[in-house]
Structure 1
Amino acid sequence: MPSRPAEMPIRSIARVVMIVVVAVLILYLIYLLRKPIGWVLTATFIAIALSGPVNRLGRHMRRGFAITVVYLGLILVPAGLTAIVVPPLVTQGTDLAQNLPQYANDIRDFVNKNERLRKLDDKYDITGSINKQADKLPARIGDAAKVLGDIGLGLVNSVFALVNILILSIFIVAGGRRWTDAALGLRPELERRRLRRVLDDTAAAVGGYVRGALTIALIAGVQAFIVMEILGVPFAAPLAVLAGLLSLIPLVGATVAAVIIGLVTLFNDFPTDTIIWAVWAIVYQQIENNVIQPQVQRRTVQVQPFIVLVAVLFGSTLIGILGAIVAIPLAASLQIVVREWWDWRQEVRLAQIRDPEGPQPPGPPGSAPPDDEGGTGIILPAT
């Protein structure tokens, strides 16, 4: 019997060591599989975002055909944007490089007409440096073409990942509801209803955010194109597409697009176009922040501004621009889970007050059921 007290600590230590080793192995396995795991998460996000249009079309046609139509639209829209952006970008970029010496001369003439700028130029030779760089730029078009070729090669290498992500998302859209129903069927009835509500609310929040973001991006691109066409700014179509895409980035995207377009106006009709664009950009951002965004996302994602800021900062720090884009729907999903957990806690408290020795409400989403209920606790995403 004296050996028994010594056996328990050894057994406990061995158990702790085993748990630590298994945890380290799991983390290492996740690290090795980080790329396909990222693909699966991206595919799940796309599937949730597209499940709304698929479900709506599925009411009027077979679901397989609805999935085909939605994914064809998903593929054709970027292809159409590329067809809009690339040809004029190449043509006008070449023209810009060839005409840049003339633009540099215009800047020099403008500086010579202003006494204060002329003194600064005499001291620092700003226009001389601009002229030298402008004269060299046409000869560097070949280097730029080489850089674009390298970028194209990188895009080709990314096609494999894109195809896999799309295929995974199609499988999730096609079978996600059946998988979710099968998993929820393993849970108790009351908990099943709560889990279903969490999954449905999360899917609605993600889909609503994506729809709202795309609507705002479309409005941002259209208004930028109209204003640039009125001002006669070059690269109007590519810059409008850029403004729409950058507006998908929360908080800073619209400002970055406005600054880029403002720099282009410097080469068109400075300072008139630059001043008009700066004033319009400020006015439009106020309209977007106070009118468009609240109206578009009023019935979709309801997240506090402080949570939005923190989520975007965390997401952008962890995984860059993609993290900033998905941070808000993730924050909305977390808010839904916390709300359901809080409601469950309140139900437990009320049940204990009414009947301290009676049965307790089911646990929060994902919690382990009582021993007599069984279940695996596996929860698949709702689509």
Structure 2
Amino acid sequence: MSARDRSPAGWAAVPGPLRTGAATSACLLVAAAAIALVGWVLVRLATVTLAVTAALFLTALLYPVAAFLRRLHVPRALSALAGLLLLVLVVAGPLTLVANQAIAQFDDLRRQLLAGLDQLRAFLISGPLNQQQLNAAIEDVTAALQGAAPDPVAGAMTTLQTLAAMATALALLFFFLRDGAGMWEWIVRRLPARRRRRVDAAARAGWRTLVAYVRGTMVVAAVDGIGIGLALVLLQVPLALALAFLTFLFAFVPIVGAIMAGAVAVLVALVSNGVTDALLVLAAVVIVQQLEGNLLEPVIIGKAVRLHPAVVLVAVTGGTLIGGIAGAVVAVPLTAVVYRVVERGLSFVDHDRVEKAMEPPTPKHRGDQQPRPQA
């Protein structure tokens, strides 16, 4: 009796394509529920999630330093500690100084932006735009900027959570630099033997993608911040250092971040120096962004992150809706890593199928097929 005959009468009467669609939909619903559950847990443990994510990003940035020192026969603990010291001295130290100055100038920057929005509204209202809709949009942005003043209690809680996340991230960074390879080998050994090679190759491909993305984005963000900051300094725009740091941070959000940082710089230049300097700042922003998009990203990041701009935009939008700024920063590298892992895993499946198809058939030994002597 076939499987079709053993199935219930109602289910057997359903056409085959509908049965396949129903089974596929059920699998997709289960997968979506699992992803939603994992996302909910990660959001609830936001401090731990951010610490682990930051540690992975920093490990991708600093692992070559630790690996180089180990090749010089430096102990693992000392090589990992050297990576931490390099982070503090070369990266965290200057950024902390710039960030402190930027935070100290935050109120001035906010007032400059509000004044710039008022001037922009007055300029656009004189044109063909709808005054009521424009006033509503400007008022929304103004309310958001005016509400950006930190509440003391909420600011203290945010500071404590940030410090806890930073301490956890630094500790994890030390362990990842020292024992990262051993940790991964331990995980691979716990997998079934027939899947170890495929999982290891897919994960390493994803890791190479993350490394290329983090290093390339760091260089591109530095070039954006230095280029636009230099233009602001030459034009004597106030808050140039704060705006350069803001540009550096926003560069980690693809597409959207560069536009937002450029708009802020142009508005500040408009209200402080006038229309001519604002147009010059806009020209500098466009030149730097064109240099980034057409030269730096293809050369530095290369083909390691192969995502269409439409996919990047959707990923940034979805990440922003789910996790805010942190989600926008993580969305693109996460999408690129998942894509590369799946691509590498599927290539292994196709390779195994080809090898299996090319194997010669195994001869069957049957005693009754031996030649019998003739009488």
User: How high is the TM-score relative to the length of structure 1?
Assistant: 0.66
Larger mean CA deviation between 304-313 and 83-92 belongs to 83-92
CA distance, structure 1, for counterparts of residue 175 and residue 207 of structure 2? 16
| Count of residue correspondences | 303
CA distance, structure 2, for counterparts of residue 29 and residue 268 of structure 1? 44
Cα shift readout 1:160-188 (whole Å, capped 9, x = no counterpart):
23212322332233223112223333556
Distance 1:196 1:28, change over 3 A: closer
| 1:279 matched to 2:283 | yes
What letter corresponds to residue 171 of structure 1 in structure 2? Answer: F
| 1:333 matched to 2:347 | no
Maintained 8 Å contact 2:198/2:348: no
Query: 2:68: which partner in 1?
Result: 56
What letter corresponds to residue 296 of structure 1 in structure 2? Answer: I
CA distance, structure 2, for counterparts of residue 179 and residue 28 of structure 1? 22
Query: 1:201: which partner in 2?
Result: 205
Q: Report deviation, 1:259.
A: 0.7
Larger mean CA deviation between 42-51 and 240-249 belongs to 42-51
What letter corresponds to residue 342 of structure 1 in structure 2? Answer: L
Query: 1:66: which partner in 2?
Result: 79
Q: Report deviation, 1:292.
A: 1.5
Query: 1:302: which partner in 2?
Result: 306
Larger mean CA deviation between 238-247 and 278-287 belongs to 278-287
Query: 2:143: which partner in 1?
Result: none
Cα shift readout 1:123-163 (whole Å, capped 9, x = no counterpart):
xxx9xxxxxxxxxxxxx9xx998757863663234212321
CA distance, structure 1, for counterparts of residue 179 and residue 331 of structure 2? 26
What letter corresponds to residue 169 of structure 1 in structure 2? Answer: L
What letter corresponds to residue 59 of structure 1 in structure 2? Answer: R
CA distance, structure 1, for counterparts of residue 109 and residue 267 of structure 2? 17
Q: Report deviation, 1:299.
A: 5.4
Distance 1:33 1:342, change over 3 A: closer
Aligned pairs (5 A) from 1:5-154: 31=41, 34-35=44-45, 38-39=49-50, 41-42=52-53, 43-60=55-72, 61-76=74-89, 77-87=91-101, 90=104, 147=151, 151=155, 154=158
CA distance, structure 1, for counterparts of residue 350 and residue 189 of structure 2? 25
What letter corresponds to residue 62 of structure 2 in structure 1? Answer: L
Distance 1:355 1:323, change over 3 A: same
Q: Report deviation, 1:261.
A: 0.8
Distance 1:344 1:261, change over 3 A: same
What letter corresponds to residue 86 of structure 2 in structure 1? Answer: G
| 1:230 matched to 2:241 | no
Q: Report deviation, 1:205.
A: 1.1
Q: What is the SS of the residue equivalent to 1:268? A: helix
Stretches of structure 1 that go unaligned for 5 or more consecutive residues are 1-19, 118-125, 127-139, 359-383
Query: 2:13: which partner in 1?
Result: none
Larger mean CA deviation between 336-345 and 83-92 belongs to 83-92
Query: 1:288: which partner in 2?
Result: 292
